[in-house]
Amino acid sequence: MLIAIPLLIVPVVIYNIVIIFIGQDASNGLAVASDVLSDPLFAVTMASGARWSVSVGDLILFLSLILLFFELLKSTTSQKAAIVNHALSMVLFVVCLIEFLLLGGFATSVFFLIMTMVLLDVLAGFIVTIIAARKDFEFGQGRS
């Protein structure tokens, strides 16, 4: 039943932990959140001599992209758990949308991109399910 849990809940929870426990300031929540997300964790010197700085927000987005890939792979299955996964993904999107619209520390580009990935997961899951169901229906009609 663990396959029914959307993987994109992981970056959403990590973002919540970073913002609520590390980057939240009652008077200036958005500025503190942006600072925490954009402060470089480390930098790598490239062959060109340029320095590539990696921040907490970059790492959360990187993890989100990897998990989105696996979520899209999961959406191609037609197991019963996939229906639960789609429903939970929709709930996760609604939670993300509420946080984005109502909480100051969540009105950042990083969280917007995470929320967009969750929306893409929802859309992909429903589209793949509809296409698979239509193919099953067409195949069933061909038999007489």
Q: Compute the half-sphere exposure of residue 64: CA atoms within 13 Å on the CB side of its CA.
A: 24
Q: What angle do CA 21, 17, 113 make, to 5 degrees?
A: 130
2 falls within a domain: no
Q: From CA 104, how far away is CA 125, in angstroms rounded?
A: 30
Alpha-carbon distance of 4 to 6, in angstroms, equals 6
CB 117 within 8 A of CB 85: no
pLDDT at 126: 82
In a domain, 144, yes or no: no
Contacts of 55 (CB under 8 A, 6+ apart): 37, 38, 39, 40, 41
Give the position of tokens 């639960």: 84
Give per-10-residue mean pLDDT for the chain (144 aa): 84 90 61 79 91 92 95 78 87 96 88 96 85 64 56
DSSP 3-state of 29: helix
Please give the tally of structural domains in the chain.
1
* Geometric angle at alpha carbon 30, from 93 and 13, rounded to 5°: 35
Please indicate, yes or no, if residue 37 is contained in any of the structural domains: yes
Residue 117 lies in a domain: yes
Its domain, for residue 76, covers: 7-139
What is the sign, positive or negative, of the torsion defined by CA atoms of 22, 27, 33, 35?
Answer: negative
pLDDT at 86: 87
32 is a domain residue: yes
Is 115 domain-assigned? yes
